[in-house]
Amino acid sequence: MALMQISEPGSRVSNTNQKKRAIGIDLGTTNSLVGFRAQNETIIINDDFGNVLVPSIVHFPLEGKYLVGKSAEIFRESDPKNTVASVKRLLGRGAEDVVEQPLSYPYELDLSDERFLKIRTRRGSFSPVEISSEILKHLQNKAQSFLEEQVDGVVITVPAYFDEAQRQATKDSATLAGMNVLRLLNEPTAAAIAYGLDNNEEETIAVYDLGGGTFDISILRIVKGVFEVLATGGDASLGGDDFDFAIADWISESLSLKIGKNTNLQASVLSTARIAKEKLSNPSNHDDVNIEFMSKTLTLTREKFSKLTELLVRRTIKACRRTVRDAGIGFEEIDNVLLVGGSSRNFNVRKEVKKLFGIDPKYDLDPDKVVALGAALQADVLIGNKGANDSLLLDVIPLSLGLETMGGLVEKIIPRNATIPISKSQEFTTFKDGQTAMKLHILQGERELVSDCRSLAHFELRGIPPMVAGSAKISVSFRVDADGLLGVEAQELSSGKKTSISIKPSFGLTEEEITRMLRDSFEKAEIDHEQRLLTESQVEADRLIHDIQGALEQDGENVLDEQEIKMLQLNIKDLKVVREQSADRNLLVNLTEKLMKSSETFAERRMNFSIKKALSGKSLDEVET
């Protein structure tokens, strides 16, 4: 028995080693939020004044750092040209998109480059991506100073309505901010996760998301934690901002204001309108609102407000109807309706949504926070912190993934039903002396033998420094990312040489095939186990025969007499015959042991011989150095 020493940890499963920190960001048109998953709750980070909402506004002052959030909002009225709000509307948009949609922005657009729209400020022209990235940086800093630790990854939500260009622009903003984007998550999916609906067996939900600048209606089907988007619809240019515009128009009309190009006046009318809207949307308020503007007073009644916003709400309801039809289901099939986004507080919205779907919509989670809550939960799962109790089952590996080892056996690295993403590594070694390459065969399945599993890929690791069999250390790591993509990397630890491959393991496998492979593995478990033991013994016998034959060729005649050599060769022959012709494991094991025993003297003498050889003819000084 060899004596053991304690070693440093490291070669074991890598994803359980350290808790990583990931944050979720709801990058909104009007407001953004950032949250994270703590031990037992999800926390949305607030500022010193208790506000969780960070206005998605960037201000470019004369000099010094750009301002983001509340400190930028202050300048919205006094310096609208250098204060950029609602930039999300411009993300991934070209100049022509904006010309077609002549919405009033209080800041100047730079349309000189047709493909890339920019915003002209006193500090230069900036693309929407650059401005978004300032907001993201601000949110990340906020999280890092709150958590007092580095953030390893981030999930950012986007409207389901976003096209590829807009998604890419969002990702670019994050990359520019130096973030590691784990995933872009659709806002309705985030909302459903926040409500815990992903734990239900089967459910169809509608998510009505009326934010500052976008309206989304999404129909999702959730089956055992897996989300399927049945249909999405909405309007990428309709939101609370438009409610503000509608009220602002009414104010300027009633007071006969001539706004024209007066951006200062426009901005102050807008913010007056917003304050009035927020007061009216507060569920505890049942009164009319008085608006004071330029020393005149106006009364905005609830009826008037309803009327002003009626068209906008009706547009959302129409979009809902269309989307449910697109989903190919009836309204009665929808189990839950979630209200998301600050503007869904509008009493008109609740009333109309209830009327349309025929059920009470859910709004018990703060509609402003709900998307960020879901993003934070998802971020925590994606970074690999799966608690035993609160693990979100998003996607699992249907069959185990493993590697072929000597004798055609399968060594499983990632077990079936492991939630993804996951990463695991294991060390392997060489089988023969001086082996410089290793063939890696990646397999999928539950059976013990390579021939019973599904082959996914082959690749080779070359350039292993020649060493005695068993002393090279080759670390093979399997990684399955959130999209189900398997990456395998093999690295020889002393030389650092590595090679890798990536595969889509679920490709081409149907549900029936998976079921069949699973059933087989149970039915044949015992045969497989026997086969595995037999193969292991065979591999052991092969190795012993190989070693002793090699040693005999090299030193046999130097240390053994003819009789002894004959004896050994006889034992080898016996073992070989059984190895080739019999499936009797016990016999094989016995003969292997016998050969091992009979070679002990040989091994001893050989050792002495080689020491003698190394020492003879040398002075003591030479040997010691």
Partner 1 sequence: MSITITSNAKDHLKRSVSERNKGLGVRLGVKRTGCSGLAYLMEFVDVLSDEDEVYQFDELKLVVDKKSLIYLKGTQLDYVKDGLNEGFEFTNPNVKNECGCGESFHV
Neighbours of 29 (CB within 10 A): 23
Structure tokens at 345: 């507080």
Whose Cβ is closer to partner 1: residue 259's or residue 534's?
534
CA dist 266 and 462 (Å) reads: 69
| Binding status of residue 624 toward partner 1 by CB under 8 A | no
- The residue from 3, 62, 620, 623 that contacts partner 1 (CB under 8 A) is 3
Q: Which of 73, 79, 88, 448 is catalytic?
A: 88
Distance between CA atoms of 64 and 230, rounded to whole angstroms?
Answer: 48
Q: How far is the CB of 500 from partner 1 (least distance, A)?
A: 21
Nearer to partner 1, 170 or 599 (CB): 599
From candidates 333, 513, 593, 604, binder to partner 1 by CB under 8 A = 593
Q: Which residues of 558-571 are buried (b: 16+ CB within 10 A; e: fewer)?
A: ebbeeeeeeebeeb
- Residue 12 phi, psi (nearest 5): -90, -175
> Minimum distance between the CB of residue 406 and partner 1, rounded to whole angstroms?
4
Smaller CB separation from partner 1, 203 or 411: 411
Binding segment toward partner 1, per CB under 8 A, in 57-65, 233-241, 424-432, 480-488: 424-432
Closest distance to partner 1 from the beta carbon of 533 (Å): 9
Nearer Cβ to partner 1 (516/597): 597
Name which of 370 and 541 has its Cβ closer to partner 1: 541
Judged by CB, which is closer to partner 1: 141, or 435? Answer: 435
Least separation in angstroms between CB 317 and partner 1 = 48
- Which residues sit opposite 475 in a β-bridge? 427, 491
Of 293, 415, 589, 610, the residue at the interface with partner 1 (CB under 8 A) is 589
Q: Could you say which residues in the range 597-616 bind partner 1, by CB under 8 A?
A: 603
Reduced to 3 states (helix: H, G, I; strand: E, B; else coil), residue 249 is helix
Binding window for partner 1 (CB under 8 A); candidates: 291-299, 427-435, 500-508, 615-623: 427-435
Give the shortest CB-611-to-partner 1 separation in angstroms: 16
Site track for partner 1 across 372-411, x = CB under 8 A:
----------------x----------------xxx---x
For residue 126, list its beta bridge partners: 119
Instruction: Give how many residues touch partner 1 by CB under 8 A.
Output: 33
Quick check: 540 binds partner 1 (CB under 8 A)? yes
Least Cβ distance, residue 599 to partner 1 (angstroms): 9
Does position 17 interact with partner 1 (CB under 8 A)? The reply is yes
Beta strands in 349-408 (DSSP E): 401-405
* Whether the Cβ atoms of residue 118 and residue 127 lie closer than 8 Å to each other: yes
| 16 near partner 1 (CB under 8 A) | yes
In the block, which residue shows the tokens 């065969």? 441
- Answer yes or no: 209 catalytic: yes
In the DSSP assignment, the letter for residue 419 is: B
Is 620 among the residues that bind partner 1 (CB under 8 A)?
Answer: no
Q: What dihedral do alpha carbons 564, 570, 576, 582 form, nearest 10°?
A: -140
97 belongs to the catalytic site:
no
CA distance 616 to 593: 34
Cα 617 vs. chain centroid, distance in angstroms? 66
Instruction: Please tell me whether residue 586 binds partner 1 under the rule CB under 8 A.
Output: no
Helices (H), 195-341: 240-254, 263-281, 302-326
According to the binding rule CB under 8 A, does residue 2 interact with partner 1?
yes
Q: Which is nearer to partner 1, 8 or 621 (CB)?
A: 8
Task: Compute the distance between CA of residue 193 and CA of residue 373 in angstroms, rounded to an integer.
Answer: 8
- Give min distance, CB of 105 to partner 1, in A: 51
Enclosing H/E stretch for 12:
none
Q: Which of 107, 215, 305, 428 binds partner 1 (CB under 8 A)?
A: 428
User: Which residues, 6 or more positions from 156, have their beta carbon under 8 angstroms from its beta carbon?
Assistant: 24, 25, 27, 136, 170, 171, 174, 181, 184, 185, 375
User: How far apart (Å, rounded) are the C-alpha atoms in residues 332 and 231?
Assistant: 16
Q: Does 101 bind partner 1 (CB under 8 A)?
A: no
Residue closer to partner 1, measured from CB, 61 or 408: 408
Catalytic residue among 77, 79, 172, 187: 187
- Residue 539 lies near partner 1 (rule: CB under 8 A): yes
Distance, in Å, from the CA atom of 50 to the CA atom of 554, rounded to the nearest integer, reads 81
Using CB under 8 A, which of 168, 264, 419, 429 touches partner 1?
429
CB-CB neighbours of 130 under 10 Å: 19
CB-CB neighbours of 160 under 10 Å: 23
Query: How far is the C-alpha of 417 from the C-alpha of 162, rounded, in Å?
Result: 32
Contact 120/43 with Cβ under 8 angstroms?
no
Q: What are phi and psi of 422, to 5 degrees?
A: -150, 150
Strand partners, 203: 222
In sequence order, what are the residues at sequence separation of 6 or more whose Cβ sits closer than 8 angstroms to the Cβ of residue 416? 396, 397, 398, 399, 400, 446, 518
Q: Least Å distance between CB 426 and partner 1?
A: 8
According to DSSP, the β-strands at 31-37 and 202-210 are: unpaired
* Min CB(536)–partner 1 separation in Å: 4
Rounded distance, CA 40 to CA 388, Å? 12
Q: Determine whether 524 is an active site residue.
A: no
* 99 contact partners, CB below 8 Å, separation of at least 6: 111
449-478 footprint of partner 1 as x/- string (CB under 8 A): ---------------------x--------
Contact 421, 384 (CB under 8 A): yes
- Compare residues 262 and 554 and give the one whose CB is closer to partner 1: 554
Cα of first residue to Cα of last residue in the chain, in angstroms, is 30
Please say if 26 is a catalytic residue. Answer: yes
Under rule CB under 8 A, residue 502 binds partner 1: no
| Residue (106 or 384) nearer to partner 1, CB | 384
Which one of 47, 536, 555, 574 is in contact with partner 1 (CB under 8 A)? 536
CB of 449 to partner 1, least distance (A): 14
Q: Which is nearer to partner 1, 326 or 536 (CB)?
A: 536
Binding site for partner 1 (CB under 8 A): 1-10, 12-13, 16-18, 388, 405-407, 411, 428-431, 470, 536, 539-540, 543, 589, 593, 596, 603
Name the residues annotated as catalytic.
Answer: 26, 88, 187, 209
